[in-house]
Amino acid sequence: MAMSGGVDSSVTAHLLLSAGIEVVGLTFIRVNTPAEVDHEGFSEEARAAREVASHLGIEHHVLNLHDLYTSRVLRRAWEEYRSGRTPNPCVLCNRTLKFGHLVRYAREVLRADGIATGHYARIYVDAEGGVHLMRGKAGTKEQSYFLAQTRPEDLRHAYFPLGDQTKDEIRTYARHHGIPTAERPESQDVCFNTTGLRFGEFLEEFFEEGGEPGPILDERGNVLGRHRGIHVFTIGQRRGLGVALGRPVYVKAIDPERNAVIVTDREEALLHRVVEAAGVNWFAPPPSGPVEVLAQIRYAHRAAPAVLTHEGDRIRVRFHEPQRAVTPGQLLAAYVGDEVLCSGFIMQTEEG
């Protein structure tokens, strides 16, 4: 049982125990920064998880995966930022650590049947062994998007007991059963302490590798100012641009070849209809022709109707209506109904 010290994983463990299932808690520490771990090497979430495990009377293991997390998640995220893209660390972590390394550890070391988590998503394995990932019932809190890059073979041994529940129902359950984390707040963005910095700034400090200063340009190529590194910008960003024109301006594009940030005062310049994504993870055989999907371009985005085509090692998605601030580096997840068809990392966009 992957335990984060939050209410979701705590309730998941309680539900499994109530169903008569043997549960062993497993928590991993991501980074060893002084802001994250105490003098004994424990993170706040590891201590919270241990408290819950003690309350439930279950065995609890803590793994320090600092080196693995640094190389597989943080380093990749930093390279993405320096290439002008905006990564999603939760997607990378789920694929490489939580449902990669932890699943193997649970099965090979702990001899467990699989690993359960507190994700609001649903999964089932059909009679032919196919793995199906579906949206949870938690509305805006559902988390299938974060799991859409996880390999189906790793999800084969995953269990999501909260898939049919809502967040409010889980809070109520935790209070009713006296679970210590019932009032613990949700983690926001990355689930460790970035000391108040934006993620790109945290990575700059973490790796002690500063960004390269460059120009801030308007759409005609005029220099409006200077930036200290493209890693602190993302598409659609309005605040903290370092230029004051007396009117709202937004980041339209990031050009890593010129190390330039291009801004616009035109809202319509942020709209794109065609998106190309790479690193595709399929949950079904790739379609031989165009297929209607609902495509989601970031976690907070409401999936929109589109047509998906499979082109070599990439997918190409044409939205019925233009979408705002489509961001290279973010994950595009394609759904057929509530079921994930595939996902890929956004590489480029076209106005279409």
Span between the terminal Cα atoms of the chain, in Å: 46
Mention every residue, 6+ apart, whose C-beta is less than 8 A from residue 58.
Answer: 1, 13, 17, 23, 24, 25
Q: Is 191 tagged catalytic?
A: yes
Known binding residue 6? Answer is: yes
Burial of 95 from C-beta contacts in 10 A (0-12 / 13-18 / 19+): buried
Q: Which of 288, 294, 322, 289 is nearest to 306 (CA)?
A: 294
The crossing angle, in degrees rounded to 10, of helices 7-18 and 167-176 is: 60
Q: CA 311 to CA 230: how far, in whole Å?
A: 30
Burial of 144 from C-beta contacts in 10 A (0-12 / 13-18 / 19+): buried
**Contact, 318 vs 311, CB < 8 A?**
no
Known binding residue 329? Answer is: no
The radius of gyration computed from the CA coordinates of the chain, to the nearest angstrom, equals: 21
The two structure tokens encoding residue 146: 């974060």
Known binding residue 9? Answer is: yes
Catalytic residue among 182, 191, 284, 347: 191
| Torsions phi, psi for 340 (to 5 deg) | -75, 125
Known binding residue 4? Answer is: yes
Catalytic residue among 74, 93, 162, 261: 93
Which three-class secondary structure state does DSSP give residue 227?
strand
Known binding residue 5? Answer is: yes
Q: CA 329 to CA 348: how far, in whole Å?
A: 9
Q: Is 342 tagged catalytic?
A: no
Known binding residue 118? Answer is: yes
The two structure tokens encoding residue 14: 């309680």
SS3 annotation, 275-343: EEEEEEEECCCCCCCCEEEEEECCCCCCCEEEEEEEECCEEEEEEEEEEECCCCCCEEEEEECCEEEEE
**Contact, 118 vs 12, CB < 8 A?**
yes
Binding residues for ATP: 2-9, 28, 118
Catalytic residue list = 93, 191
Binding residues: 2-9, 28, 118
